[in-house]
């Protein structure tokens, strides 16, 4: 059984690629390393700390991307069968990753629950470029047979259990950059304010509470 579920969405209705191309000022996202190549290998903590990440996060807070993301969560994700009759919270600002050739996107294999995430969170991964082989995210222990490549084309979004299962990436040998967002959905029935106040995010030190890390639809 696969460790992830793929959903197809209408990329003309939710034009992530075009929007992000405009935001980043490039005409081919998977060749963004030709415009700006990371000077060194990324590391954990430092891995979210480059000019391209800053640019994305700055642009992301503007209306165009905020509206698209919220529209996608409200009118695609929350309509999925798995959330039928379920009140959900969504990650206010999605996490942005860039996986450039001969580099990594996230520094080490991990479970999100290692970093203060609640085990009931559900992860969604949405690449703006096709993701396959060594530019994708892999799920499962890399030293075992239990290791699966999350192959996702643009126009698809994957759901996986990132809170509880190991995931990570490899040296990207595909020659193409992968750009993606990932975000988490939290069924409201598991939300406990006191519990959530105890933890915060690793890099931004945001509390995992409604109004900070989480938003209501
Ligand atoms: Fe993760």
Cα–ligand 1 centroid distance for 40 (angstroms)? 21
For the segment 20-37, the average pLDDT, to the nearest whole number, is 92
Where are the strands (E) in 15-136, listed by range?
88-91, 95-99, 122-127
Question: Tell me: the pLDDT tens digits for 135-155?
Answer: 999 999 999 988 999 999 999
Nearest to 96 by CA among 50, 157, 158: 50
Q: What is the CATH number of the domain that holds 210?
A: 2.60.120.620
Predicted local confidence at residue 103, as pLDDT:
87
Q: Which residues surround ligand 1, an ion (CB under 5 A)?
A: 112, 162
Domain housing 152: 4-216
Quote the pLDDT of residue 47.
59
How many domains is the chain partitioned into structurally?
A: 1
- Write the pLDDT tens digit of every residue in 103-129: 887 778 999 999 999 999 999 999 999
> pLDDT at position 45, please?
47
State in Å: Cα 117 to ligand 1 middle: 9
């Amino acid at each position: 059984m696969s460790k992830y579920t793929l959903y197809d969405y209408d990329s003309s209705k939710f034009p992530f690629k075009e929007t992000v191309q405009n935001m980043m000022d490039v005409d081919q996202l998977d060749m963004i390393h030709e415009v700006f190549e990371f000077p060194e290998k990324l590391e954990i903590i430092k891995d979210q700390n480059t000019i391209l990440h800053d640019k994305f996060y700055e642009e992301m807070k503007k209306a165009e991307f905020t509206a698209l993301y919220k529209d996608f969560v409200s009118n695609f994700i929350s309509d999925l069968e798995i959330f039928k009759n379920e009140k959900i919270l969504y990650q206010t600002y999605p996490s942005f990753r860039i996986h450039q050739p001969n580099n990594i996107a996230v520094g080490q294999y991990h479970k999100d629950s290692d970093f203060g995430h609640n085990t009931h969170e559900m992860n969604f991964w949405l690449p703006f470029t096709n993701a396959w082989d060594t530019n994708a995210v892999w799920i499962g222990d890399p030293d075992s047979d239990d290791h699966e490549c999350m192959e996702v084309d643009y126009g698809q979004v994957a759901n996986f259990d990132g809170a509880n299962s190991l995931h990570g990436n490899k040296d990207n040998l595909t020659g193409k950059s992968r750009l993606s967002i990932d975000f988490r959905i939290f069924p409201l029935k598991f939300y406990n304010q006191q519990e959530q106040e105890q933890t915060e995010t690793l890099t931004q030190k945001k509390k995992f509470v409604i109004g900070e890390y989480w938003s209501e639809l």
